Structure 1
Amino acid sequence: MLLAFQADGGVPPAAGPAAQGAGALMEMMSNIGGIALAVLVLLLIASLYSWTVILSKMSIFGRATRESRNFINAFRRATRLNEVASIADNYKNSPLAQVYLDVYETYKRQTGGSGPPRSITPLERSAQTASSEAITALERRLIWLATIAATSPFVGLFGTVMGVVDAFHGLGTAGAATLRAVAPGISEALITTAAGLFVAVPAVVAYNQFAARIRVFASATDDFCRELLNSLEEIPARGSAAPRDEPQEVARGFHD
């Protein structure tokens, strides 16, 4: 009976609020002006790039965290410098491994690959340089997240202002000073503000999270630099009785 009634021209059930809202949004998008459309396209590009950076950095930071944890455990178990160097080659994404490899290369140039270091100062400079380069690599492209987070609301606001200007211009042309005449244009203009916030909020959250993780990496790298240099400084006291032709020793876990 109900199906037959509807087929005969009965009134269909009313659409839900979600369907009505989507329909109103699509109607506003179809009537949007050229400036507002250009603003939305710009915000779409910014959003896509922002999410590309976010997903890329999540992957990079995840690998750096895992590899740093594994490398520091391997370093503390090792008994020879060359043994740690061969292990470090497997952890290219870890800033700690990058620091160790640079310091080890400086150590080999200074000592020829065996014996205690003649001077700890070049090793300190090498550690500082390697640490700075590793942290800078982790910070790459984060400035774009900060830029997108800071400018997207203003780009959206620009679209809103221009949309309101167009709405009042049309109101003046029509000569009908009613809310019904100006409301559609203002509602279309406000879409750009919402779009700007939609782009900015994820970028702000991601930038703050990544900045905090970089501070953690920087602190861990500084701690490792001190631990590594202390190990190198302890080589003379612990390795004085070892034959000169044996592989160079690491202070932590050293044995004759």
Structure 2
Amino acid sequence: MEQVGMAAATHDVSLWGLFMQAGLIVKLVMIGLVGASVWTWAIVIDKYVSYARARRQFDQFEQVFWSGQSLEELYRTLAERSNTGLAAIFVAAMREWKKSFERGARSPIGLQMRIDRAMDVTMARETETLESRLSSLATIGSAGPFIGLFGTVVGIMTSFQAIAGSNNASLAVVAPGIAEALLATAMGLIAAIPAVIAYNKFSGEAGKLGARMEGFADEFSAILSRQIDEKLQPRQAAQ
């Protein structure tokens, strides 16, 4: 009993103590998982702020766009700015519109295709920006538990080696190694669970914002199509 008490006394079972007593591989696993957890929360905060800002900008632009303001006037206001989201799609379409008419566009179909392509390219770039770093959340969410499990396996193997070396299978000998191993599993879950939840939430948010951009692009394409017909049909009739 005295030996068991002495063995227990030599082990610090606090979280910091378990980390310091862990083997090198388990320590590296724990450090990696802590880093992954910090990175996850950094992405969560960044995406929360950026998506809230994007929704606000979308609302503000739609309010101005549908207020009846002239498209030319709105384009002049936005052309010199660094635009994102709906404003970027609008500016790309209007820029192609103006370039085509300055060069004497004759084919309504060709002009419409160029405008749609300009909006599609801009929309793809904006969508990529919205979805940036979400893959990191998916990777952490899927790999975190397995990395923690790897640390657990290594920790348990170390415990068995300690049992074999001491010829003592008492709880005082086994418990510290098992605790270190389970701590690695817990840290893997702590890193993975928020990453999975955040990935699902922000993927949905990105999808909603992407749908808003697609809807605006379709509506604006229809508006420009009508204006193209109004401008090019008299020109074609005169020829």
- Does the pair score TM above 0.5? yes
Distance 1:60 1:93, change over 3 A: farther
Q: Deviations over 1:121-158 (max 9, x none)?
A: 11111111111111011111111111111111111111
Matched residue, 1:220: 212
Distance (whole Å) between structure 2 residues aligned to residue 222 and residue 54 of structure 1: 25
How far apart are residue 90 of structure 1 and its match?
8.8
Matched residue, 1:179: 171
Q: For 1:190, which of 182, 186, 194 is the aligned residue?
A: 182
Q: For 2:57, which of 67, 81, 87 is the aligned residue?
A: 67
Matched residue, 2:44: 54
Equivalent runs, 1:113-124 vs 2, <5 Å: 118=108, 119-124=111-116
TM-score (norm 2): 0.83
| 2:126 maps to amino acid | A
| 2:134 maps to amino acid | L
Stretches of 4+ aligned residues off by more than 6 angstroms? 113-117, 237-240
**Corresponding position: 1:233 with 2:210:** no
| 1:177 maps to amino acid | A
TM-score (norm 1): 0.77
| 1:123 maps to amino acid | I
Q: For 1:139, which of 131, 146, 152 is the aligned residue?
A: 131
Distance (whole Å) between structure 2 residues aligned to residue 27 and residue 127 of structure 1: 57
Matched residue, 2:93: 103
Q: Deviations over 1:90-111 (max 9, x none)?
A: 9856411111111111101101
How far apart are residue 89 of structure 1 and its match?
5.3
When the two chains are superposed, the root-mean-square deviation of aligned CA atoms in Å is: 2.6
Distance (whole Å) between structure 1 residues aligned to residue 114 and residue 105 of structure 2: 16
Q: For 2:27, which of 28, 37, 47 is the aligned residue?
A: 37
**Corresponding position: 1:199 with 2:218:** no
Distance (whole Å) between structure 2 residues aligned to residue 136 and residue 24 of structure 1: 44
Q: What 5-or-longer segments of structure 1 have no aligned partner?
A: 1-21, 241-256
Distance (whole Å) between structure 2 residues aligned to residue 57 and residue 117 of structure 1: 43
Distance 1:169 1:162, change over 3 A: same
| 1:43 maps to amino acid | L
Q: What 5-or-longer segments of structure 2 have no aligned partner?
A: 1-11, 233-239
User: Which structure features the higher share of helix residues?
Assistant: 2
Distance (whole Å) between structure 2 residues aligned to residue 115 and residue 87 of structure 1: 25
The higher radius of gyration belongs to: 1
How far apart are residue 211 of structure 1 and its match?
0.3
